[in-house]
């Protein structure tokens, strides 16, 4: 009996180790390096990051943008497909853009008519954060959208949180780009988190 329990103990530890390792690999956060300070005032600066983390089990894309938000600066993160594989995401390759633009939050698709804005909460100070989470169905189509500004729910006028448009996510995207503009300091931080629904994962 003593040997039997030892054997089961080893097996139990092994199973939990595999589960933990797999969950860690798939629920990962991509922290984007801080943008360098501009050489001149009112200069656009940007950085491009390759995306290689999409998985079949992915169930949510979470984007968090933290910055010093002023009425005159713009900080945004864009997603798209680097069609010519040159390591840069250009406007014509961009399919989703979101961020802060001169006093308001915004999210936009490749079509200029699909641009939605949200008024930030008042009395939050200079330091602002947006948390933008796209929950996915099993077929990878957006199912639900959760958006928070400094921890308070915010609404993008005209954008249906309960039935979000398809252009909010695509596994064809392989590049993200962070851009900052304006004379005011932005002091930004961006992270992108790729989540698996734990219940779906364990059932598989």
pLDDT number for residue 21 = 28
Cα gap 10→119, rounded to integer Å = 55
The DSSP H or E segment spanning 142 is strand 142-149
The lowest-confidence range among 11-15, 60-64, 113-117, 133-137 is 11-15
* Mean pLDDT, residues 64-82 taken together: 90
Helix (H, G, I), strand (E, B) or coil at 3: helix
Per-residue pLDDT reduced to its tens digit, 13-30: 333 323 232 333 345 566
Per-residue pLDDT reduced to its tens digit, 111-131: 867 999 998 877 778 889 999
Domain residue spans in the chain? 29-203
Find, among 136, 133, 135, 126, the residue nearest to 100 by Cα. 126
By percentage, how much of the chain surpasses pLDDT 90?
42
Q: Do the Cβ atoms of 181 and 129 come closer than 8 Å?
A: no
Cα gap 96→172, rounded to integer Å = 12
pLDDT number for residue 204 = 22
Indicate if the pLDDT at residue 61 is higher than 70: yes
Burial of 160-181, coded b for 16+ CB within 10 Å and e otherwise, reads eeeebeeebbbeebbbbbbbbb
The lowest-confidence range among 31-40, 140-149, 178-187, 189-198 is 189-198
* CATH code of the domain occupying 29-203: 2.60.120.200
CA 112 to chain centre: 21
Name the pTM for this structure: 0.77
pLDDT number for residue 191 = 66
Indicate if the pLDDT at residue 72 is higher than 60: yes
Judged on CB neighbours under 10 Å (0-12, 13-18, 19+), 79 is: buried
The overall average pLDDT reported for the chain is 77
């Amino acid at each position: 009996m003593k040997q039997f329990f030892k054997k089961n103990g080893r097996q139990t530890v092994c199973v939990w180790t595999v589960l933990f390792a797999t969950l860690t690999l798939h629920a990962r956060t991509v922290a984007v390096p801080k943008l360098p300070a501009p050489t001149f005032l009112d200069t656009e600066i940007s950085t491009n990051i390759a995306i290689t983390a999409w998985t079949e089990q992915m169930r949510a894309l979470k984007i968090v943008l933290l910055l010093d938000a002023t009425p005159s600066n713009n900080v945004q993160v864009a997603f798209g497909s680097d069609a010519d594989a040159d390591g840069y995401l250009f406007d014509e390759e961009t399919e989703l853009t979101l961020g802060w633009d001169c006093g308001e939050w915004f999210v936009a698709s490749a079509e200029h008519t699909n641009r939605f804005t949200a008024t930030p909460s008042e009395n939050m100070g200079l330091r602002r954060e947006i948390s933008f989470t796209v929950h996915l169905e099993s077929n990878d189509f957006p199912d639900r959208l959760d958006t928070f500004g400094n921890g308070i729910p915010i609404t993008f006028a005209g954008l249906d949180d309960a039935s979000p448009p398809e252009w909010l996510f695509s596994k064809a995207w392989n590049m993200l780009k962070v851009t900052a503009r304006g004379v005011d300091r932005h002091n930004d931080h961006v992270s992108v988190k790729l989540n698996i629904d734990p219940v779906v994962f364990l059932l598989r």
